[in-house]
Every structure is written in C-alpha cells, then in structure tokens.
C-alpha cells in the first residue's frame, strides 16, 4: 500500500516537472527588441540608379532616420538636402525582430500613422551589404541593395 503511494507521488512529480520544464524553456529568440542591432547601425548607401539619385540611410540605436538624397554632378555626389518623405524611414521609435540568421523585421514601436511603408525586412548579405524590402499597404516593394558607407 505504501509503495503505491510513493509511486503515484513520484509519477505526478515527474509529470509536473516535465510539464513546467517545457513551458519555461520556450524562450523566444524571435521576440521584439527595442533597439536596432549593432551590425545594422550606421550609414548605408542605396545602389546607384543611372541618371538618378542615391539615398543615404542612417540607422540609429532606436530608429531609421536622417535619409539624404544625393545626385551626381561632374563626377561628385552632391547632397540635395532633401529628406525622403517617410517612405522607407521611421523617424520615431522602432521595434526589431531577429527572426532568422541574418534576417530582421523592423516596424514602428508606437502608434504613429505611417505615410509610406509600415514594415521593413532586412537581410544581411555580408559585412558590408544588406538587402532592404519595404511593406506598403498590400504589397512588398522590390529589394533594394544597400552598402555600408565608408
């Protein structure tokens, strides 16, 4: 009789430990963080469009901001001192999710309405190159290759 009680108690304890152990171990690596990873911070140049402009993005710790448009004149890049109209930028606080190796999803962290894209997917293609895709109302934009500014 006593042996049955001990066996039942041990089995219930084992089931309890297995049940709780599985729930606490499931820490999500793909949770939303409040800062841009260090590997993405800094200045990034868009690819050159012949006859067009290049865009320089600045990824800060908490936002993607300070976008400047440059055009080429006599072989030199001239700053037009015009910022983009919030299409690919979040000039306010962002949340970042690292959901796969070298893949990040960025969205707005506060309730500001977005005039352009509401999410940005970034894929790292090496130390000095990333690919950025913006999400607009119902579609994703074409991939844009960015290189790190020197």
Rounded to two decimals, what is the model's pTM? 0.69
Q: How many CB atoms lie within 10 A of CB 37?
A: 14
Taking CA atoms, 146 is separated from 34, 130, 137, in Å, by 23, 5, 23
Separation CA 68–CA 72 (nearest Å): 13
DSSP string covering 34-78, please?
Answer: SS--TTT-EEEEEPP-TTSEEEEEEE-SS-EEEEEEEEEETTEEE
Tens-place pLDDT, residues 79-100: 776 655 555 556 667 889 999 9
Q: Is the pLDDT of residue 113 over 90?
A: no
Q: Is the pLDDT of residue 147 over 80?
A: yes
Tens-place pLDDT, residues 62-78: 887 777 778 877 777 77
pLDDT of res. 25 = 46
Question: What mean pLDDT is predicted for residues 27-42?
Answer: 82
Domains in the chain (CATH in brackets) are 32-148 (2.40.128)
């Amino acid at each position: 009789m006593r042996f049955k009680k001990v066996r039942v108690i041990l089995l219930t304890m084992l089931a309890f430990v297995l049940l709780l152990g599985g729930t606490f171990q499931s820490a999500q690596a793909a949770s939303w963080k409040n800062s841009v990873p260090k590997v993405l911070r800094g200045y990034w140049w868009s690819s050159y469009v012949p006859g067009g402009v290049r865009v320089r993005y600045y990824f800060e710790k908490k936002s993607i901001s300070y976008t400047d448009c440059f055009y080429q004149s006599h072989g030199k890049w001239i700053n037009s001192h015009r910022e983009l109209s919030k299409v690919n930028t979040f000039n306010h606080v962002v949340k970042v999710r690292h959901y796969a190796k070298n893949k990040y999803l960025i969205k707005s962290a506060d309730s500001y309405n977005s005039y352009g894209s509401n999410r940005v997917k970034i894929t790292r293609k090496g130390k000095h190159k990333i690919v950025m895709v913006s999400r607009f109302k119902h579609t994703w934009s074409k991939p844009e290759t960015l290189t790190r500014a020197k």
